[in-house]
């Protein structure tokens, strides 16, 4: 077992499109950990998509569900957790994230935008200027993401396997 992780859970944070789910699954395999995606837990528990939840209940209700799910997840050890990009916004979420090791997957905004350009599943990007919205979200959140234990800067062209290997080396 790695020296930093010591059997606690690994939380991946970062913007939408950063690859938290793909890299998280790979890390879970390599660590022999379970894998959880907070958005998936929310959609399974409510029977609604993230878009539906934002449209029908509003963002604040979604954020409460997200905190509730994170609180439950944080009671477990040995999970790799892909979190929603906005998990860093609520102060209470940090007390749950700190149950484990927090890794920020930091992807350049241009690359994020390329990945998300055709995406219709992210309600926050249903905006007349989705690229500008992505930039402003990142600007607002960067100081929060920076509170992670580990900062992994993802390079263009890097595969999920390569990123997962770099995380494995760092933990
Ligand atoms: C959000 C990110 C999404 C999802 C929701 C809000 C955000 O998760 O939770 O659309 O505020 O950045 P991903 O980061 O998995 O896309």
pLDDT digits (tens, 9 = 90+) for 114-127: 989 888 899 999 89
Residue 15 is part of which domain span? 10-170
Cβ of 50 less than 6 Å from ligand 1: yes
Check: CB of residue 55 under 8 Å from CB of residue 32: no
> Looking at ligand 1, which atom is closest to the CA of residue 141?
12
Asked if the structure places residue 88 within a domain, the reply is yes
User: In this structure, is residue 2 part of a structural domain?
Assistant: no
**110: in domain:** yes
CA 3 – ligand 1 centroid, Å: 30
Does 28 reside within a domain? yes
| Exposed / middle / buried, residue 129 (Cβ in 10 Å: 0-12, 13-18, 19+) | exposed
Confidence of residue 4 (pLDDT cuts 50, 70, 90): confident
Q: Ligand 1 test: best mutation among 49, 122, 123, most atoms within 8 Å of CB?
A: 122
| Cβ atoms within 10 Å of 115's Cβ, excluding its own | 15
Average pLDDT over residues 17-38: 97
- Confirm whether 20 is domain-assigned: yes
Complex ipTM tops 0.95: yes
Residue 85 CA to ligand 1 center (angstroms) comes to 4
| Domain tally, the chain | 1
In short, whether 71's Cβ falls inside 6 Å of ligand 1 is no
Q: Is the CB of 84 under 6 A from ligand 1?
A: yes
pLDDT above 70: residue 138 = yes
Q: Assign residue 64 the CATH number of its domain.
A: 3.40.50.300
Q: What is the dihedral of CA 41, 47, 50, 54, to 10 degrees?
A: -120
* 41 within a domain of the structure (yes/no): yes
Give the per-residue pLDDT at 84.
98
Ligand 1 center to 106 CA (angstroms): 15
Is the distance from the beta carbon of residue 124 to the nearest atom of ligand 1 less than 6 Å? yes
Which long-range contacts (C-beta less than 8 Å, at least 24 apart) are formed by 134-139? 134/15, 134/109, 135/109, 137/15, 137/85, 138/15, 138/109, 138/112
Within a domain: residue 84?
A: yes
Judge whether 5 lies within some domain. no
- The mean pLDDT of the chain is 95
């Amino acid at each position: 077992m790695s020296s930093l992780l010591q059997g606690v859970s690994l939380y991946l944070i970062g913007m939408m499109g950063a690859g938290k789910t793909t890299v998280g699954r790979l890390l879970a395999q390599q660590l022999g950990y379970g894998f959880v995606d907070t958005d998936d837990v929310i959609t399974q528990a409510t029977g609604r998509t993230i878009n539906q939840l934002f449209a029908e209940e509003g963002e604040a209700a979604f954020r409460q569900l997200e905190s509730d799910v994170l609180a439950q997840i944080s009671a477990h050890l040995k999970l790799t957790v892909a979190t929603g990009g906005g998990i860093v916004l609520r102060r209470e979420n940090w007390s749950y994230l700190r149950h484990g090791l927090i890794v920020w997957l930091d992807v350049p905004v241009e690359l994020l935008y390329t990945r998300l350009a055709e995406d219709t599943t992210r309600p926050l990007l249903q905006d007349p200027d989705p690229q500008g919205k992505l930039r402003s979200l990142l600007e607002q959140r960067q100081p929060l993401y920076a509170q992670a234990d580990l900062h992994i800067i993802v390079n263009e062209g890097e595969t999920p396997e390569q990123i997962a290997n770099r995380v494995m080396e760092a933990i």
